[in-house]
A and B are shown apart, each in its own frame.
Chain A
Amino acid sequence: MTDLPILTLVVFTPLLGVLALLLIPGGNHRAIRWVALLASLVSFGFSLALVGYDPGGAEFQFAEDLPWIEAFGMRYTLGVDGLSAVLVLLTTLLSAVSIFYSWVPITTRVKEYYVALLLLMVGMLGVFVSLDLFLFYVFWEISLIPMYLVIGIWGGPRRIYATVKFVLYTLVGSLLMLVAILAVAIAHGNETGAFTFSYTALRGFAYADTLQALAFVAFFLAFAIKVPMWPLHTWLPDAHVEAPTAGSILLAGVLLKLGGYGFLRFSIPLLPDAAASFAPIIIGLAVIAILYGALVAMVQPDMKKLVAYSSVSHMGFVMLGAFVFNEQGLQGAAFTMISHGITTGALFLLVGIIYDQTHDRQIAHMGGLGARLPHYAAVFGLFTFASIGLPGLSGFVGEFLVILGAFAYNGFVAAATMLVVIASAVYMLWMFQRVFFTVPSDWMRRWWPSLRDMSRNEWIALSPLIVLVVALGVYPGPVLEMLAAPVERIIEAVDGAGLTGFGPLW
């Protein structure tokens, strides 16, 4: 380990980029784009150091710890375990991809746009590396506002409705979580005399059952809205449809993961008894989300909305895997998050490519693109199959593990989710067929002469994702190895846990 504060550098390099951007005149688009890209790439470069995470070593590595607001025991504590290391890498990569991809499509208010994206990056990365609950909350909220602006300023026609809905949903959940964080810290402080927000100190403390149950509900609301879990998902399709392409990539690729990460990092280890007792309910909701997302995706006329609903379904897998509390399930949940980030990010990017040319995403307006745009069709096909979960691509590993875990938990749950895997093949393949095969629609014929296949920039933006989606599918070993220790800890935490104070809840 070096003495360099790697995590601070990863998180705050984008902020330096913001400061640099503020000094550049707004009309100098070229400089703005380069500075933004450079900031994100430098941050990505620093994050590559996390590959050196030692799975057999200490739980939290690259740790940093400085006093912040000492009167309240709030500290600037950073550190990563295998789970957060992988997610940090995903975040820096997808951010750089989004920033690079936005070069061409974003032409208005360019400076503000990149400022927002870089601030978003700071918030998201901060969430993954914070080991102080208060610091975590601060970053959690910081990640909210830039996305609000990205959707609201550069989004589609109903952008204001969508963005306000997104913010209010998220804010209600997160503010309740703030009360829960305070309640947990105070309960711990009153008992031990040491008032702290340190994650490692608060974890493993035996909180009273009532507090656990109430705090869990508050955490659950915050994270479940972010994931989003059925029935709290209604902001997602709106937000995705209106968001600009890069916004969608980061929303699906990273922001939803904040919710999943929150469950794995905070809800379950902090409040294991409540987590164990509420698990059946959450598993039920997850199964509904998987089914519901798939069925609704099937009937969507809009490509972007279809991918958005498929996210609801995929994130249902994450929740299911997280709450069956066995090794396969949890590993699958974490792996699905990563794989979903890559595939869905890529799919949104691909939808953006056709949207930038035709300003339309209606599936009925497409058709026959396979003949006109063969490269585009090939890449789209690759990610379609990854999304379905074809063996050999990254989607398969996660879903397979989750279903294995679900089998160990309950055969019926597993059987139900198996069926959905077929449904996901239906909606994705059906969309692929209607867009790329068949005959071009009359509408599309008008655009026919002006269509172009993937540009160099689009290839550059997509190539890391293409490599990863294949590499993780063929050889998931290193990532699973990183995830092994965190998963083990979660299982230990919930082993034998359960609320006893007021009996079973149902």
Chain B
Amino acid sequence: MDYVDDLVTLFPELILAALVLVIITTDLFLPRAYKWVLTPLTVAGLILAGAACIVVWDINETVYAGFYVVDDLSVFLKGATVVIGILSTLFAPSYLAARRIPLGEFNTILVTALIGMCVLASSSDLITLFLGLELMTMPSYLLAGLHKTDRYSNEGGLKYFLLGSFASAILLFGIAWVYGLTGTTNLAEIAAALDGQMSGALLVAVGFLTVGGTFKIAAVPFHYWTPDAYQGAPTPITGFLSAGPKLGAFALLIRVFAVALEPLSADWLGIFLVLTVLTMTVGNIVALTQVNVKRMLAYSSIAHTGYIMAGLAAFAATDDEAIAAQGIESVLFYVLGYAVMNIAAFAMVGMLQRDPNRYGGLNSFAGLASRAPWRAGAMAILMLSLTGIPPTVGFFAKLYVLLAAVDAGLAWLAVVIVLNAALAAFYYLRVIVYMYMRDPEAEPATLDSSPFGSVALALSVAGVVLLGIFPGAILGFLEVSAASLF
């Protein structure tokens, strides 16, 4: 049976699925004092899944009657998914414990969402794509509202759910139109069926897909759910929400727009350019006015969405395959780098919220450098990375996008990006101002210093710096991954 043989290609997903079951079962039997075991258990499972990614690297097969593709692009995204999963798992426990949020539920839901991201990354058919999307977003809604006794978390979860399902419906409607127009749901066949001519009906289809897709990445003007959902969610979970579903949604955009709708790239380029510029500018301007770090990071994540979209725009703006590949590579690099620095930055905010009544205001960062020099140093590096100062991963990610944009003839977009980066410097550096240049509050927030969190923080900062100095280490993977699209 082919279907059984094909299971080998699903190695990472299978391990994750098994991990979900293991966590649920173990959770049942663990006495309360030993619940912490779930964290290393989950991390071990995720590392195993990461190792499985290495096994399926370079397989490049389409399996299950064209519904599922295990190409290098998908494997790269699965690897990134695992990284996101490990960091999220490590950062969460002490924050959740302080609020009596059950750890077992969190780990289960998180890993389920990760499976969704993997399916999304591997989908070669609109049906699988939608399944993966829902498998990713449903757990995300739950995660946002996981703090059941907190009304902000409830509000955030509900908003996320309502607007998210609305967006899913729009996307589904777009999928239906595409099926109606091309007679197929297979992405490659859709591309083949399109002759590059835009028609009125096609415009409707592309429009719905664009709205649905950009809703999921939180592009302006479809971003209104983001700040509330991000602010309401328990802080380490916000880190995951800002990185995980975003990675999944970009995988969706790549699959839909760079594969299925590739023949129409000249047509969707225009709307993407408008959305890109709007997203980064609005995100940054609103972030400037925030005094709550958590909310500021939420808006800044919108701005980063804009930078990442610029990579897709570069893909669409050029006929040269090498340059188009560079656009995709820049998206992949940015999504990974952004995930690492943003999850860690949110986690730092969470560490200052050991007291559940604190909501991550700028003041809680005041004078942190004298109280906790190492953590303040880590946060400073993360902020510099988000600003895009070398030698950090954030800088190189921006550089990659700029390079792709200039190469694709969008030099003006590169200028818009750097002006935005300068704007963003103001609010990121403000955190450093508070940490290093202000005196602590009268009653400074107690700092969470759980060992898991410290390990994860050290790992992410090391990653941010090392990938910033030696990005060459993963550029080879990126090239191969992006090449699987062409």
C-beta contact mask, B219-254 vs A, less than 8 Å → 1, else 0?
000000000000000000000000000000000000
Binds A, one of B140-148, B272-280, B307-315, B401-409: B401-409
Chain A 148-178 residues near chain B, CB threshold 8 A: 148-149, 152-153, 159-160, 163-164, 167-168, 171-172, 175-176, 178
C-beta contact mask, A171-201 vs B, less than 8 Å → 1, else 0?
1100110110011001000000000000000
Contacts A69-B472, A152-B437, A178-B399 given; does A112 touch B369 at CB 8 Å: yes
Whether A152 lies near B433 (C-beta < 8 A) is yes
Whether B390 lies near A160 (C-beta < 8 A) is no
Contacts A142-B391, A176-B415 given; does A152 touch B422 at CB 8 Å: no
Whether B397 sits at the interface, judged by CB under 8 Å, is no
Q: How far is the CB of B221 from chain A (nearest CB, A)?
A: 26
Whether B406 lies near A175 (C-beta < 8 A) is no
Bound Cα distance from A182 to B417, whole angstroms: 14
Considering only CB atoms, which chain B residue lies closest to A138 in the complex? B390
Q: How many residues of B contact A (CB 8 A)?
A: 34
Considering only CB atoms, which chain B residue lies closest to A175 in the complex? B418
Whether A38 sits at the interface, judged by CB under 8 Å, is no
Whether A459 sits at the interface, judged by CB under 8 Å, is no
Whether B437 lies near A145 (C-beta < 8 A) is no
Whether B419 sits at the interface, judged by CB under 8 Å, is yes
Whether A164 lies near B389 (C-beta < 8 A) is no
Whether A109 lies near B411 (C-beta < 8 A) is no
Bound Cα distance from A153 to B380, whole angstroms: 14
Whether A176 lies near B418 (C-beta < 8 A) is yes
Whether A419 sits at the interface, judged by CB under 8 Å, is no
Whether B421 lies near A70 (C-beta < 8 A) is no
Whether A414 sits at the interface, judged by CB under 8 Å, is no
Report A-chain residues with C-beta under 8 Å of the C-beta of B422. 168, 171-172, 175
Report A-chain residues with C-beta under 8 Å of the C-beta of B406. 179, 182-183, 186
Q: How far is the CB of A328 from chain B (nearest CB, A)?
A: 37
Report B-chain residues with C-beta under 8 Å of the C-beta of A70. 472
Considering only CB atoms, which chain A residue lies closest to B471 in the complex? A69
Contacts A26-B373, A178-B418 given; does A137 touch B433 at CB 8 Å: no
Q: How far is the CB of B326 from chain A (nearest CB, A)?
A: 10
Whether B425 lies near A167 (C-beta < 8 A) is yes
Residue of B370, B390, B432 with most partner-chain A CB within 10 A: B390
Residue of A26, A68, A149, A164 touching B436 (CB-CB under 8 A): A149
Considering only CB atoms, which chain A residue lies closest to B369 in the complex? A112
Contacts A153-B437, A179-B402 given; does A138 touch B373 at CB 8 Å: no
Contacts A145-B389, A179-B406 given; does A153 touch B436 at CB 8 Å: yes
Contacts A183-B411, A186-B407 given; does A172 touch B419 at CB 8 Å: yes
Whether A137 lies near B390 (C-beta < 8 A) is yes
Considering only CB atoms, which chain A residue lies closest to B476 in the complex? A71
Whether B479 sits at the interface, judged by CB under 8 Å, is yes
Whether B166 sits at the interface, judged by CB under 8 Å, is no
Report A-chain residues with C-beta under 8 Å of the C-beta of B369. 109, 112
Whether B426 sits at the interface, judged by CB under 8 Å, is yes
Report B-chain residues with C-beta under 8 Å of the C-beta of A176. 415, 418-419
Whether B54 sits at the interface, judged by CB under 8 Å, is no
Whether A141 sits at the interface, judged by CB under 8 Å, is yes
Whether A179 lies near B437 (C-beta < 8 A) is no
Report A-chain residues with C-beta under 8 Å of the C-beta of B432. 148-149, 152
Contacts A68-B472, A159-B437, A186-B407 given; does A144 touch B389 at CB 8 Å: yes
Residue of A26, A71, A148, A178 touching B429 (CB-CB under 8 A): A148
Q: How far is the CB of B399 from chain A (nearest CB, A)?
A: 7
C-beta contact mask, A104-144 vs B, less than 8 Å → 1, else 0?
00000100100000000000000000000000011001101
Bound Cα distance from A376 to B96, whole angstroms: 63
Chain A 41-92 residues near chain B, CB threshold 8 A: 68-72
Whether A71 lies near B390 (C-beta < 8 A) is no
Chain B 385-404 residues near chain A, CB threshold 8 A: 389-391, 395, 399, 402-403
Bound Cα distance from A137 to B398, whole angstroms: 14
20 pairs across A/B with beta carbons < 8 Å?
A69-B470, A69-B472, A71-B476, A112-B373, A112-B436, A141-B389, A148-B429, A149-B436, A152-B432, A152-B433, A164-B433, A167-B425, A168-B425, A171-B425, A172-B422, A176-B415, A182-B414, A183-B414, A186-B406, A186-B407
Q: Which 3 A-B pairs have the closest CB atoms?
A: A175-B418, A138-B390, A71-B475
With A153-B436, A179-B414 already in contact, 20 other A-B pairs whose C-beta atoms are closer than 8 Å:
A26-B373, A69-B470, A71-B476, A72-B475, A112-B436, A138-B390, A152-B433, A160-B433, A164-B429, A164-B430, A167-B425, A168-B425, A172-B422, A176-B418, A178-B402, A179-B411, A179-B415, A182-B402, A186-B406, A214-B411
